[in-house]
Amino acid sequence: MELDSNPKSSSVKFPSWKELITSYTYSLKNEDMNSQSFRKKLDFFLSNASLITDDMANKSVSLAMQMMISKSGEYLPGESIDSILEKLKSSTFNSNEFYTIYNITESRYSLVDETVNTKLGIPKESFTLMNLLGITPGDIVVYEEDLPHFIRWAGIAFLLFSLPGFTFKSNLDYFTIKFRVKLASSAKIVTLEKKCYLSNECISTKDFIPNFHFDKWTILPKEDNGVVKPLFVSDFEQSEAMNSLSYLFNAALLNLPAKYLLILDERITSDRNKGVAVALNEQIEKHSKVQSNFNENQIGDYLAKTIRPKISQLSSTWTSRDIVIDNDNLAVIEAKSLGLLPIPQNIKDMMFERIE
């Protein structure tokens, strides 16, 4: 819990992200998510959050990959890659679609659709992870403002796929993500939307790890101020759990205190500090029965002196730009690009409920 430093609201304690993650996983009433294995993996993630942040900011997901390699999720077998490829050869893709197959254990694309040459205007040999990450020069690279977000969300996706308590159906469950890329041949910037399906043909041991994921790509026009954020698609309950946890893991990595995020969230619907204070006090009392005394001057101080500088620092770290946020609207925009806003309603309610 974080104790509020203002004397008028000193009795109000806001939950930490670790407390929120723990509270959420317990609410799922999933035995595997309350197991020692799950808690051990979760504790490793939370205790190494700063190292993982540095790891991802340096174009690496090695720690997240280590979690994936020691995965505990349950994977159900499905159709073979060869069978899928046969179907793909006889399928008709739209003029803006192509596919790839990625080898997880070797960290490379083992197959790239021949039509990449005509659809993206680059040789298929140039469509590599190293080129996309900008580690090696090539004909395609993730747009510099999207790259750190792309890497961060990829690491979070690997973490989610490694957790016990989830069951993944081969070539059916997937996550999707959109990001911008630069094409060297035409100097164009386009948006790519990727649907990523984990693929495993059979399970021979308890510690089976999927070797491949099959990706379907859609080429879209460039999106200005595009937000890089994944969406996990499975059955209803698992989809909600995975998307909620991905939000919480991202928030834990960025580590903007819940108090400041709730204030900024209320700022979206209120253009006056007094309105933010009133709404915040009402929500706290409604969900936690705690009496709080936030006032407009205090909210104004939080926004100007703490929240804007913190969002500026986070945005500068994750976009490789020197960002100075001098108004609340810009703070909201940058928080959205970081995946902190909007707060999922179930998570927002829990944040208020956990206030003491």
pTM for the whole structure: 0.86
Of 206, 234, 252, the residue that ends a domain is 252
Strand-pair category, 74-76 with 188-199: unpaired
In a domain, 309, yes or no: yes
User: What is the pLDDT confidence band of residue 52, given thresholds at 50, 70 and 90?
Assistant: low
Give which of 253, 265, 276 is closest to 50, Cα–Cα: 253
- Predicted confidence at residue 243, as pLDDT, reads 96
**Among candidate residues 200, 217, 252, the one where a domain is terminated:** 252
Identify the residue whose tokens are 């209320």: 266
Query: Mean pLDDT across the stretch 295-323?
Result: 92
Q: How confident is the model at residue 204 (pLDDT cuts 50, 70, 90)?
A: very low
Q: Is residue 24 part of a domain?
A: no
pLDDT of residue 179: 95
How many CB atoms within 10 Å of residue 26? 11
Select the highest-mean-pLDDT range: 45-49, 99-103, 132-136, 237-241: 237-241
State both tokens at 81: 């890659």
- CA–CA separation, 296 vs 301, rounded Å? 9
Give the model's pLDDT for residue 202.
Answer: 43
Amino acid 306: pLDDT: 97
Mean pLDDT, range 37-62, rounded to an integer: 70
Tell me the average pLDDT across 228-241. 92
- Cβ–Cβ under 8 Å, residues 193 and 178: yes
What does the alpha-carbon distance between residue 139 and residue 104 come to, in Å, rounded to a whole number?
23
Residues 222 and 79 in one domain: yes
pLDDT, tens only, 110-166 = 889 999 999 999 999 999 988 998 888 899 999 988 988 888 888 788 778 778 888
Q: Which of 226, 252, 278 is the last residue of a domain?
A: 252
Is-contact 127 136, C-beta < 8 A?
A: no
In a shared domain, residues 348 and 283: yes
Question: Is residue 87 domain-shared with residue 223, that is, in the same domain?
Answer: yes
| Dihedral sign from CA coordinates of 68, 72, 78, 80 | positive
Residue 197 sits in the same domain as residue 168: yes
* Helices 345-353, 17-27: inter-axial angle, 10-degree rounding: 110
344 and 293 housed in the same domain: yes
The C-alpha atoms of residue 325 and residue 328 are separated, in whole angstroms, by: 8
Confidence of residue 268 (pLDDT cuts 50, 70, 90): very high
pLDDT at 92: 64
Domain that holds residue 6: 2-16+256-353
How many domains in the chain?
A: 2
pLDDT of residue 208: 46
Residue 154: the pLDDT is 82
Whether residue 244 sits in one domain with residue 107: yes
pLDDT of the residue at 89: 63
168 pLDDT exceeds 90? Answer: no
Instruction: Please give the share of the chain, as a percent, with pLDDT higher than 90.
Output: 51
DSSP 186-255: TTEEEEEEEEEEEE-S---STT----EEEEEEEEEE--TT-----EEESSHHHHHHHHHHHHHHHHHHHT
